Amino acid sequence: MHNSLKRMWALLGVVAAIAAVAATQAVAAHKAGPTIVIWTDSDRAAAVTKVANDWAGSSGATIKVVTKNFGDIRDNLGTVAAADAPDVITAAHDWTGKLAANGLVAPIFLNKATTKNFPSYTLNAFSYGTAVKKLYGVPVAVENIGLVVNTKLAKVPTSFAQLEQEALAVKKAQHQTFGIAVQQGSGGDAYHMYPFFSGLGGYVFGTNKAGNLNPKDIGVASPTLLKNAKLIDKWNKEGLISSKVDGGAAQNAFLKGQAAFWVTGPWNADTLRKSGLSFKVIQVPAIAKASVPFLGVQGFMVTKFAAAHGVDSAAKDLVTNFMATPSAQTQLAAANGRPPANVKAKVGSADSVLTQFRAASKGGVPMPNIPQMDSVWNDLGQAWVRSTKGSGAMPAVRSFKGAARSIAAKIG
């Protein structure tokens, strides 16, 4: 009997010891807090790491930043194993429709006080839903292209006619084959050509009565654009625009003083600052209509995997309550070279390059965020390539009509 009691007490001691170890581990795990995995690109990795760790310092969480090519973030999210998946991603707003439709990102909520700090279009850009729209991302940065003017070579144009005249004068003086340095290349570039497209009266998708984008209303060959399409033929004939110009050729021509006008965005702000050139950034002057740019809104989204990892509430707190703040967005803007989405965040001095690009965004159109936009980019870009390639170019009316038919067939 005595030996049995000894064995029982020994066994209870072992059980107690195991329980104590387990409790200690549980407390340690609790104290360690959740680990939030963030996917971002190399341009933003340092800034995202710093800002996210500012939040983690007060929340007890651990941040793990994984660097990927920007486009791979979207593409890999649909194929990654759950164990390796991110909880938060840096994202472009035009990914929203596809990611939301595939259930890869989670809806989020911003309170009214925070919402007031964002232009409505930035929030709409990250919203999606066929019946009821939901917000899927916190806007952090806005980018758009503008017209950079070398003010030593040309006056800042106040009309498109003046832009055309001065661009062709510099083209002639520099023995160039094009007047405006706007990138296309054989693959086309519908994004950089959008101010000319919108200025001629083109649009991508109209909206329905509910205000949602309507993929059946395709404006690539709108009546207004077709009415003005002969201007494209004129630009092609005189060499104002050439689809043979790619990104490198456009940049080199401007930086070497061989072109007085360059269509580019804030990602080249440092290049401009270091160029030694006197320049000003404006919006492309109106043609038949305002020549507004596409707007790209970048931000953070919470993935479906955050819930599976048990960090859903922490991930949403990071994104909605911290990344949305003026302080966080000021830091991200300084590191990323993009104007912040939060209107209370600082963008630098009044004469900064970012401030000029922000002014050039006036009236801009957020790139459509519905899945059908994937069917537009190539055909719209190729419409410009065919009609601005110089000798042997296709008449613009025919080129854009063909693009519209192709897009409609793909969308079905």
Judged against a pLDDT cut of 60, whether residue 94 lies above it is answered with: yes
pLDDT digits (tens, 9 = 90+) for 389-400: 999 999 999 999
Mean pLDDT of all residues in 237-246: 98
Helices (H), 82-119: 96-101, 112-115
Q: Measure the CA angle with vertex 27, ends 22 and 30; round to 5°.
A: 125
311 pLDDT higher than 90:
yes
In this prediction, residues 350-360 reach a mean pLDDT of 84
Q: How does pLDDT run across 115-162, given as a tens digit for each residue?
A: 999 999 999 999 998 778 899 999 999 999 999 999 999 999 999 999
Average pLDDT for 85-92: 98
Distance of alpha carbon 12 from alpha carbon 366, whole angstroms: 67
What's the whole-number average pLDDT of the chain?
91
Distance CA 255, CA 259 (A): 8
d(CA 318, CA 326): 14
Residue in 259, 249, 241, 256 with CA at minimum distance from that of residue 154: 259
Q: Which residue has the higher pLDDT, 215 or 8?
A: 215
DSSP string, 373-390: GGGTHHHHHHHHHHHSSS
User: Which has the higher per-residue pLDDT, 19 or 216?
Assistant: 216
pLDDT computed for residue 2 by the predictor: 47
Contact 151, 254 (CB under 8 A): no
Tokens 């104002």: give the residue.
240
Average of per-residue pLDDT across 32-45: 91
26, 28, 51, 59, 407 from 31: Cα distances, Å: 8, 5, 21, 10, 54
Residue 12: pLDDT band with limits 50, 70, 90: very low
Residue 25 pLDDT exceeds 70: no
Question: Residue 242 above 70 pLDDT?
Answer: yes
CB 353 within 8 A of CB 281: yes
pTM: 0.83
Over residues 166-186, the mean pLDDT reads 97
Q: Provide the pLDDT confidence category of residue 43 given band limits of 50, 70 and 90.
A: confident
Closest listed residue to residue 185, CA positions, set 389, 367, 332, 21: 389
Q: Are 340 and 329 in contact (CB under 8 A)?
A: yes
CB neighbours of residue 1 within 10 Å: 5
User: What count of other Cβ atoms lies within 10 Å of the Cβ of residue 385?
Assistant: 21
Reference 256, options 270, 275, 281; nearest CA is 275
